[in-house]
């Protein structure tokens, strides 16, 4: 027994000291990485040559959204010496590539590629869509890039940028307060410094230097308050005129009462607005709380003044109109409008004669002007007075060409006690414009309700239905309107 135990111990010790070959090392089998998005593959490839292909010392500009304003930005910035990369919806890639082939503007597949490559990115999309677009492409933004939005309403844009952009991205937003058919020179360009160092503001100023625009520095909130007046409620007036003419089956250029003087501005600007994209005006009105308040007040002012006219309440109508004149322009009921010859603000419109050359219709220069209540203008000034708005302050800060004309014709009417008294008399006694004023009142209330409901579909239907009525004259009216704006601006500059 003892011998068996000794032998077993010896065998165990021998096994313990035997050298066993170690298992051969095998590298782990590589796990295939998921494929990169095709647009990012191209962006990575392009970024390796960015330093050699981009203009030395200038940031690469990216534009997401190639609508009318996106195209304007891309063209102007490329002409200014910047490398510009753009995109729109992926299904439009081929068409855009063909359109801009050889132009120097690089068309990429989508916003991922643009965001990965560009140093300064502009989201030029509808205000109603900004949240969805930034949510989709914002996370791809290059570290340290600066982002802006060329949207007409900034509240949704601010929310989208704060929510979806990475923390290592700066925000210096912009807004050109004019349409794509108007020269950028001398027009207001709002710059909003939301987050990031001051040097990024300087960078944005340098990027837009070729625009020769006038820089205006506002916060997001200040922007929406100012544009509510200079754009949204002004557009509501012209939209109401257009719908009134359409519902009355009246082409204004075919009737002598609409072909001269102040009426030329009303007709040309109305057609100019209806020739544009409906969503621009819908976003301005529906998504901006300040705009909603002003549009509601404009509809209320129109309705209340119309009721006073229909009821023959002369004293109350006159009291209200003259009070609005004093509140907005500072001229008392018995005071003539005067301006300081030694450098004070001069009238925008010195004479109606300058407008006649831009009429879309034929008129007899020897005609007697027909009395007109100018309800749209009376209501506008009444609206400003009710909301304690000082339009000339907004004009100075961020006035658009259309707002400049609108306040110009309002000022022209209210400057003259004789002209204003004639408008009051016409509203009470004259029947020539009574049907037009009634249609205008209904249209203004309709637009006000549409905006208060927040209904984009209804807004689109109302807009496009009216636009189709005027479509045959859009091209001519747009060209005439551009010339009219330029002529009045040049005349104003000479007078100053």
* Span 39-217 CATH architecture: 3-Layer(aba) Sandwich (3.40)
Helix (H) / strand (E) containing 193 = strand 188-195
- Count the neighbouring beta carbons within 10 Å of the beta carbon of residue 265: 24
Structural tokens at position 491: 């005349």
Band the pLDDT of 42: cuts 50, 70, 90. very low
Confidence label for 361 from pLDDT (cuts 50, 70 and 90): low
Band (317; pLDDT cuts 50, 70, 90): very high
As a whole number of angstroms, the distance between CA 149 and CA 457 comes to 24
Mean pLDDT of 158-166: 98
Using the 8-state DSSP alphabet, how is residue 233 labeled? I
CA distances from 79 to 41, 107, 124, 302 (A): 28, 16, 19, 46
- Buried/exposed 200-239: b ≥16 CB within 10 Å, e otherwise: bbebbeebbebbebeebebebebbbbbbbbbbbbbbbbbb
The answer to whether the beta carbons of residues 441 and 306 sit under 8 Å apart is yes
What confidence category does residue 218 fall into, taking pLDDT thresholds of 50, 70 and 90?
very high
The answer to whether 41 touches 112, Cβ cutoff 8 Å, is no
Say how many C-beta atoms besides its own lie within 10 A of residue 285's C-beta: 28
Q: How far is CA 260 from CA 166, 192, 252, in A?
A: 55, 41, 11
Residues 6+ apart with CB under 8 A from 221: none
Residues of the chain within CATH 3.40.50.720 domain(s) are 39-217
Average pLDDT, whole number, for the chain? 84
Give the best-scoring range by mean pLDDT among 216-225, 258-267, 330-339, 360-369: 216-225
């Amino acid at each position: 027994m003892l011998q068996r135990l000794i032998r077993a111990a010896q065998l165990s010790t021998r096994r313990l000291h035997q050298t066993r070959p170690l298992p051969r090392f095998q590298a782990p089998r590589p796990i295939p990485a998921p494929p990169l998005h095709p647009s990012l593959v191209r962006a990575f490839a392009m970024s390796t040559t960015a330093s050699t292909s981009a203009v030395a010392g200038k940031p690469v500009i990216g534009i997401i959204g190639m609508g009318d304003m996106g195209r304007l930005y891309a063209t102007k910035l490329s002409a200014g010496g910047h490398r510009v990369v753009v995109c729109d919806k992926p299904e439009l890639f081929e068409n855009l590539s063909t359109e801009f082939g050889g132009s120097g503007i690089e068309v990429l597949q989508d916003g991922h590629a643009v965001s990965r490559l560009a140093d300064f990115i502009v989201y030029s999309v509808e205000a109603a869509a900004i949240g969805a677009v930034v949510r989709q492409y914002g996370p791809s933004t290059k570290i340290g890039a600066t982002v802006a939005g060329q949207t007409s309403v900034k509240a949704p844009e601010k929310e989208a940028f704060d929510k979806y952009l990475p923390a290592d991205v700066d925000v210096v937003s912009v807004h050109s307060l004019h349409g794509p058919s108007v020269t950028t020179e001398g027009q207001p360009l709002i710059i909003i410094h939301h987050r990031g160092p001051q040097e990024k503001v300087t960078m944005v100023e340098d990027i837009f230097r070729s625009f020769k625009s006038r820089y205006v520095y506002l916060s997001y909130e200040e922007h929406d308050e100012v544009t509510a007046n200079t754009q949204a409620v002004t557009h509501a007036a012209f939209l109401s005129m257009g719908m009134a003419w359409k519902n009355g089956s009246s082409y204004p250029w075919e009737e002598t009462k609409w072909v001269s003087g102040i009426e030329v501005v009303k007709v040309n600007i109305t057609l100019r607005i209806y020739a544009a994209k409906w969503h621009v005006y819908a976003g301005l009105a529906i998504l901006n709380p300040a705009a909603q308040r002003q549009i509601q007040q404009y509809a209320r002012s129109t309705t209340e003044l119309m009721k006073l006219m229909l009821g023959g309440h002369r004293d109350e109508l006159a009291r209200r109109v003259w009070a609005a004149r004093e509140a907005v322009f500072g001229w008392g009921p018995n005071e003539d409008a005067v301006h300081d010859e030694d450098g004070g603000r001069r009238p925008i419109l010195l004479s109606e004669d300058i407008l006649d050359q831009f009429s879309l219709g034929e008129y007899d220069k020897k005609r007697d002007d027909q009395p007109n209540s100018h309800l749209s203008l009376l209501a506008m000034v009444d609206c400003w007075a009710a909301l304690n708005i000082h339009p000339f302050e907004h004009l100075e800060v961020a006035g658009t060409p259309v707002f400049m004309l609108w306040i110009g014709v309002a000022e022209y009417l209210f400057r003259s006690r004789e002209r204003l008294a004639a408008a009051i008399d016409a509203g009470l006694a004259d029947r020539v414009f009574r049907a037009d004023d009634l249609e205008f009142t209904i249209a203004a209330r309709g637009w006000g309700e549409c905006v208060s409901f927040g209904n984009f579909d209804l807004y689109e239907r109302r807009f496009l239905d009216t636009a189709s009525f005027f479509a045959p004259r859009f091209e001519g009216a747009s060209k005439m309107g551009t010339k009219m704006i330029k002529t009045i601006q040049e005349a104003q500059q000479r007078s100053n």
